[in-house]
Structure 1
Amino acid sequence: MNLQCIPDLLHYGNNEDEIRAEFDRRCGHFSMIQNHYHASYELYYLFSGERNYFVKDSSYRIRAGDLILIDSNAVHKSTDSGIPDHERIVLYFSPGYFDRFPADERELLRAPFTGGRPLVSLNLQERLRAEELLISLLNELHTRPTGYRLHVQHMAGELLLLVARASRKPEVSTMPEPTPVQRKVSEIVRHINGHFAEPLELDELSRRFFISRSHLSRTFKEVTGFGFAEYVNITRVREAQRLLRETKTSVTRISEQVGFENFSHFGKMFKRLSGVSPREYRNLDRANRENA
């Protein structure tokens, strides 16, 4: 079976599964609209088309045959590149997926996600093998014969090994040179990531980075896919989630520690981005750990 025989939309698994998959064939122009970060490790493969992809603090132009590997809880967003139509598959691996392997194999398979080099451009041989594995996986999800879940596990594992080996080769370390605008925005994003607990205003950052307020606002959105305030809120809420999971600090104190000057605004932003209130988030995390 080839890719054209796969339906335009094909999803597999839920948040409780160790592996989830999403295939989408999109016509026209498309940009992700939701704020995006999650505990799962994400493997994004572009079958056709071109996209802009922002990960953590850098933006990449990706083309057919490129892989994006996203670490757990890294902020990321895919946006339109100006070229319509694309086909992509995303595989999500839960943190628990890697626990089944011995330490050395676990480190090998997880390294491409955590190594700080999100973009992997495969050579022709690797690309053909990756697409063979992915199309076989999609065919199983489409037809769902007996034992298809076993096949999905096997194909996904083989793909992870292929990517782990490809990402260790010296030639894949060369990335496209970022433009001056991309470098400037990356500097600003790194500043936000390191100073989110402090007041962050467009006017102050425009002076610090020698760029006009309007130009900063516009280019930040163009490069990252996020509005400036949107990205600041995401960064603060993500840190608040970590503190709620890992400490016993009060919710009020956490809101202050992550940079929110108004507790009501913190609660509103947290629920918008997390789907639950801070207290509900902490209680759910405790319940999940107790039931694990």
Structure 2
Amino acid sequence: MDEKRNIGLPLYLEKNETFGFSTHSMFRLIFIYEGTGILKINDKRILFMAPTVIGLNEKDVILVEEFHNVKAKTIYFNPIVVNNIFTIEKLREDSSELSQTEFADYCLLSPFLTGPDRVGEIIQMGLTAEKRIMGFLDRLSSELDTLDNNFWRCRSRSILYEILSFLQYLYTEMDIDNNYKVLESESDVDKVILHIHANYEQKITLSSLTKLFHINRTTLSEEFAKVTGMSVIDYVIKLRIKIASLLLSQTDIPINEIVYRTGFNDSTHFGKMFKKHTGFSPSQYRINKSS
């Protein structure tokens, strides 16, 4: 609210999201830029890993179950910020009667509205997308913090429009390999999975996990396979390869450094595992993805 000019905009940026609201009267665009955890969204349990974006409408319910070093920012907004005709009630009506321009704006809000089995649109982004979103959020923060002239509302709306347009591109045009999982029910394995996601760069063995979580080796193996569909070690390797793929395709970090950042600690073993899971050597993968 610009009290000096007595003008406002139903748009707010929370720079340190605490997930204090299970529901909210406004739409929410939550950007989790650090950490891992388990969220319950509309009665479905979601295991996620940063960077992740979640789009929620006013009816979506979100609850925190388990968090590990999670940091997030949230844009709260009324859809009329995107288009003046879009009251929440209007968005529930038949979209076929919208004009071409109105329908284009409506499509930007689709992550908050559509899906046959919708739990809130969720996407794990790559590092390049994360950097771009952080840039948008920094610009939006500057506008909303300073309110330095009569055009702050126009600029703030345009930045939100840019963010939604970029997310629409991610949802519809990019080949996304999401790294979140829907967990069927609560399990003792939940904490084990979170530990792996938070510490994948460290040495992880079945023995170390059984000691850390005071669980029988056979029980852990059986329960882990039941929840994830794979063994503990296969899960760890698959996660490390996923992280390595992102670092190879979206950064210039030397391959030897990526080996240690992803917990392999041996270049030969890393190369064999990477080729087994991707079909390429690490250097080939970097060349193919950057070309």
Return the TM-score normalized by structure 2.
0.48
Return the TM-score normalized by structure 1.
0.47
